[in-house]
Amino acid sequence: MDSFKPTFHIEEAVRKVLPYMMEMREYFHANPELSDQEYTTSKMIFQELSLMGIEDAKIIAGTGVTGLIRGELPGPVILLRADIDALPLTEKADIAYASLKKGVMHACGHDGHAANLLGVAKILTQHRDCLRGTIRLAFQPAEEGCGGAARMIDAGILNKPAVDYAIGLHVAGGLSQGKVSIRSGGITASCDDFTIMLHGKGGHGSQPSHCISPIQMGVDSLQQIQSYVYNCRQDGDGIVLSFGQFQAGFNPNVIPDTAELKGTLRTYNESKRTLILEKMKHILNAVTTCYGGTYELQIVPFAPVCVNDARTTAKVASILKDKCTPFIQVVPQDRSSGSEDFAYFSAAVPSAFYYVGVNSGTVELHHSSDFQWDSAALKYMCTTMINIIYYFTSY
């Protein structure tokens, strides 16, 4: 570790920018937009970056926004990512800045992520003199299952200049304010949602031998797939396969022609992920062949395993412990069976992804219509990210 020190007081800078971040967070919260529909959100972010005089500010990957902040000192190119989309939920919280759109709300903290990165950008722009390296801002659209991170990469966000590292954070409703958590290696699971369409031969319920029941094929397929996963592949690696939908027929005495099953697969190992998806095809083929039916399998990959690079994560964890105490307490982080498409950035460049606590007494459940947190928690997000950026090359 070298003796470098910024020419400004980080905590004081964060206090000054906090009202701005709170205002922006509450604006985004009141005006939520679903994945790939973040038109007003991206326009507002672009305008704010332009007012800051940020280089290369532009719309990218549909409704994403990027910009570049060049420090006056040599150093790496670091991408900072904030997702910006909301969820299809109706907000229940009685707050002054509640969602103005029925059926749409920020129930996962992306409003805070966007506001935090704007605050970070403001501080970085004001203190380029001691900024070592270049910061690539990534306000990412469509994190909630629509491939926004992959599209930003396809649009070239990791090039010109070439990005060396990526840093991301996420609010944690189950973690108290003032606490952050991070771990090396796999931090969130891969996610593949799948739909199985089974085709049989319908008929009267009194004559099942004249039919090919897609319901029976569905039952057998479900049982065999889960049996394979939980008896043959469950080896402590946290593999999760769940069926959430099984639809077939409309009448008690009519065997339908088709049945549809939907589910999700979560793993922490890419080779096991690939193997299980391949085994699903074998099982479906065997079951439908036995009954005389057919199947269609559609797999929609959301994200691979999000892997924190060991060296990069060690740097970030050391900075949080050395530079953010006593404002921040670093606590252990377990692997999450949730998924995060920051994984596409982590697969492309050495990365670190961490969680910032926002609850102030009660656990806030993400993706819930009751999800709420105090905007003042933005100070913890901003403080950690600014320290990471300015001290990154010191570790």
Match 């090919």 to its residue by tokens. 212
Token duo for residue 32: 């939520």
Q: Is 144 annotated as a binding residue?
A: yes
Cβ count within 10 A of residue 171: 25
Cβ count within 10 A of residue 45: 29
Q: Is 108 annotated as a binding residue?
A: yes
Residue 167 DSSP class: E
Stretch (H or E) spanning 18: helix 10-30
Cα torsion angle, 233, 234, 237, 240, sign: positive
Number of alpha carbons in the 13 Å side-chain half-sphere of residue 196: 33
Q: Is 170 annotated as a binding residue?
A: yes
Q: What is the DSSP string of 276-333?
A: HHHHHHHHHHHHHHHHT-EEEEEEEEEE--EEE-HHHHHHHHHHHHHHSTTT-EEEE-
Which residue intervals of 186-268 are DSSP H helices?
214-227
Cβ count within 10 A of residue 30: 18
Q: Is 110 annotated as a binding residue?
A: yes
Specify whether the CB–CB gap between 97 and 155 falls below 8 A.
no
Q: Is 23 annotated as a binding residue?
A: no
Token duo for residue 300: 């929609």
Closest C-alpha to 175, from 340, 366, 14: 366
C-alpha span between 118 and 59 (Å, rounded): 15
Q: Residues forming the annotated binding site for Mn(2+)? A: 108, 110, 144, 170, 367
Q: Residues forming the annotated binding site? A: 108, 110, 144, 170, 367
